[in-house]
Structure 1
Amino acid sequence: MQTWIVTGVSGSGRIELLNELAEYCSSQSRTVLVHDVGAMMADEARRQRLQVADDKILDVDADLLRTLRAAAIKEVRVRICEHPTANLHLIGIHASFRWKDRLIPGISFIDIGDLRPDGFINVVDDVKTVHDRNSKNSKWDVTSLPNLERTQDWMIEEEFITEVLAEVQSKPMYLVARKHKVSNLADLFFSAKKRIYLSYPITAVRKDDPELLARIQGPILSELERLFVVFNPLAIEDMSLVAAKGLPETVDQVTSDARALIKSRTVERDYQFIDQSDAVVVYYMTDKVSPGVLAEIYYAHRNMKRVYLCFPYALSPFLEGAATQISKTPEAQLALLQKFADHAAHSAGAG
């Protein structure tokens, strides 16, 4: 039995992703139970006959809020004990709340000690999507709804706090996109598959060779997901806000500070995906310079990650020196990756 704590800001789609994962795992004859701490806190307030509306629960006294959370955590522990044969328990909870210009803790070190998790997940999505979901949630009014910049700040804080909690517990922590395919996400918990980050020049390929982009996001990605847990940068499309294309209803909210934050956060998030991966798989199928892909290759190389590069053009010694294996075609790349995956599976079996 595994127990994982899953964080994410309001509007991240955290609980929805966990429910979809549980449903998929059920179809694979695995039992995954989702424990929504926020909903359980609201249930506890009703049991105690507290006159607290769901959209006002964060306005209550801090001591009462801690009491409600402690009761919910206790209920989670009881449910875990009642279902010892479950394959996986997923505890959905906020690491923090941004509420009316206050930052409120969502979980404590005592809670973590009581739950004794095997690991942590932080669920993320496009900042615009998170903002739009929250704008449709009745608990947020015009004055309390975080704008794009504050939403982004909250997402950064949520990830940072989750990292700190995981580090203190010496447990793994993974950043997971809301759009991560649940069949592949299940492999993170139930397989010995290696984890990879998929790198390719998105802007250049999207503009000059949309058929290649469709191939990478279609059959190539499917083959990679068969072999590995895949972290795909295109699962989060924050950079569309920077370009402000096709978003006339939100352009006025994208301040220069928000744009700068989105740019820097996109880079840091992709580096986080690399950090939590065993290898970076690169499809550099253009002769145009891609600063983003080159930065990811060198970052992976400096951090002792394997780099599998598919590049059909003449190589510079700098690029050649940073790559672990180089292929000229996607087919040759896949053959090398199959060997890497087979070796990992054999090593896990021998262990």
Structure 2
Amino acid sequence: MKVVCTGISGSGRVEYLNKVITASRKEGKPLELMNIGEMMFEAAKRLGREIKEEKILDIPQPTLDWLRAAVFEQVLRRIYSNEGRDYIISTHAAFRWKKYLLPAFDFFYLNELSPDIYVTIIDDIFSIKYRLESNPQWKGRLNLREIAIWQDEEVFITKMLASYQRRPHYIIALREPGETLYDIMYSDKRKAYLSFPITHVKAIEDHLKGVRRFKEELRKYFVVFDPMTINDMERLYKVKEACEKGVDKVTLEVDGGELKVDVKEVLEAEEDIKSQTVRRDYLLIDQSDVVVVYYPVAVMSPGVLAEMIYGFSNNKDVYVIFTGSKGKSPFFEYYATKIFSSVDEFFNYIVEEGLTQRPVKEEVKELA
């Protein structure tokens, strides 16, 4: 098993992959992480040329290409000499540097590697900016809109590489557990997109706790993709509230620290944040087998209904747990495969119907 994992600087890619390695060790799986960036610095040092981290992207492109090729030769040798092990190769798809894109991969070596899965680790752009501003290489280089564009480019390029090699591609948020990628690699669990009325749920603590309990139970049966692992919209709303009060700068709590941002910078990224929120959730539905809707409130959510319509119209079963006290909208019922009145009813159904594992592929018989 070989997995190529991409993610822009500041996305927490290596942090997430270390969680996957931890999960693999618990299960006794021989999984190894190879970080292309670190290996490039080590290779240059062995060759007598120590490169500063903040200067590596200023090196001439042919030199970077040569150094990357040397590292991939090393990667291939290690893989071929240890056939019983599985590998995650951590790399970039592209760099957004000095207002232009730099390629960060080599088609020849990707073909030689022939990965089984491609993955892109993503995070909300405010958290990414917070990390980049603490890195001398990136401090002051990218505004929020440029970060949003770069992350979108990273996902797009990786998805195209996977499509070219006819391999699956997944986007996984940094705040998902390491078991998410581990289960994609090794388990027979089907994949579920968890949809719920985020705004209404967050407003009531009991509903929020209910969603969390339901999600943890759902993970026992499915690989779960949770849209609430990205917080861009919530932070955008906070900044817009500050803007209405005439504030020019806002301090946001990010990853246990504080990020000071100009309101103007955030508003310039507003359309990107909104559009990418919708598109990202649709990508998560695309990579899922089913959509599971947990709906504990009576108020209709346009976002949930849109996700139901998208999933139902794109060949996904849509299972709805509706515990609201009022009647359901006919549109809600129309785009649901089945509606349950309780959590227990839903879990009993998926177990009894055997809906929690991927179906075994049938052999394709030749026509006589």
* Inter-CA distance 176–67: structure 2 relative to 1 (3 Å threshold): same
Query: What is the CA-CA distance between 1:285 and the residue it aligns to?
Result: 1.7
Report the Cα distance in structure 2 between the residues aligned to 1:188 and 1:14, rounded to whole angstroms. 17
Contact between 1:4 and 1:90, CA under 8 Å: does it hold in 2? Answer: yes
| Residue in 2 that maps onto 1:240 | 234
* Among candidates 301, 321, 330, match of residue 343 of structure 2: 330
Q: 2: distance between equivalents of 1:197 and 1:212?
A: 19
Equivalent residue number for residue 211 of structure 2? 216
Task: Tell me the CA shift for residue 230 of structure 1.
Answer: 0.2
Q: Deviations over 1:195-244 (max 9, x none)?
A: 0000000101111x221111211x21111000000000111111122112
- For 2:65 and 2:352, the matched residues in 1 are separated by 51
Q: 1:180 aligns to what?
A: 176
**1:299-310 pair list within 5 angstroms:** 299-310=310-321
Closer/same/farther in 2, CA of residues 40 and 253 from structure 1, 3 Å limit: farther
Note the C-alpha offset of 1:68. Answer: 0.6
Counterpart residue identity of residue 121, structure 1: V
Tell me the distance in 1 between the aligned counterparts of 2:278 and 2:170.
16
1:7 aligns to what?
Answer: 6
SS of 1:226's partner is: coil
1:148 to 144, 148, 164: 144
| Equivalent residues in 2 for 1:95-244, closer than 5 Å | 95-142=93-140, 145-207=141-203, 209-217=204-212, 219-244=213-238
Equivalent position amino acid for 1:136 in 2: S
Cα displacement (A) at 1:251: 4.4
CA distance in 2, matches of 1:263, 1:181: 25
Could you tell me which amino acid in structure 1 is paired with residue 188 of structure 2? A
> In structure 2, what is the Cα distance between the partners aligned to 1:126 and 1:251?
17
> Partner of 1:83 in structure 2?
82
Distance 1:174 1:347 in 2: 20
Matched letter for residue 48 of structure 2: R
Q: CA deviation at 1:138?
A: 1.9
Code of the aligned partner of 1:193: K
Distance 1:165 1:192 in 2: 25
Equivalent position amino acid for 1:230 in 2: V
Distance 2:319 2:262 in 1: 38
Contact 2:194 2:224 in 1 (8 A): yes
Structure 1: gaps (5+ residues): none
2:331 maps to what in 1? 318
Identity of aligned residues (%): 35
Deviation at 1:347, TM superposition (A): 3.6
2 CA distance for matches of 1:304 and 1:345?
17
Q: Does 1:41 align with 2:40?
A: yes
Structure 2, unaligned runs of 5 or more? 240-250, 253-258, 364-368
Equivalent positions of 1:238-317 (< 5 A) are: 238-244=232-238, 247=252, 249-252=260-263, 254-312=265-323, 313-317=326-330
Any idea what SS the aligned residue of 2:44 has? Answer: helix
TM, length-normalised to structure 2: 0.89
1:344 offset after TM fit, Å? 4.8
Residue 297 to residue 259, structure 1, CA distance change in 2 (3 Å):
same
Given that 2:132 and 2:139 are in contact with CA atoms closer than 8 Å, whether structure 1 keeps it comes out as no
- Residue 282 of structure 1 aligns to a residue in which SS? strand
Deviation at 1:343, TM superposition (A): 4.0
Range with greater deviation from structure 2 (56-65 or 16-25): 16-25
Q: Give the structure with the larger helix fraction.
A: 1
Please give the alpha-carbon distance, in whole angstroms, between the structure 2 residues aligned to 1:93 and 1:345.
31
Q: Work out the CA distance in 1 between the residues paired with 2:352 and 2:104.
A: 43
CA pair 210-331 structure 1, distance change in 2 beyond 3 A = same
Partner Cα separation in structure 2 for residue 129 and residue 343 of structure 1: 36
Q: Is 1:56 matched up with 2:50?
A: no
| Offset, 1:121 | 0.1
Task: State how many pairs are aligned.
Answer: 344
Segments of 4+ moved more than 4 angstroms: none
Q: CA deviation at 1:192?
A: 0.7
The whole-number CA distance in structure 2 between the counterparts of 1:189 and 1:51 is 36
1:253 positional shift: 5.6
**In the aligned structure 2, how far is the partner of 1:349 from the partner of 1:58?**
45
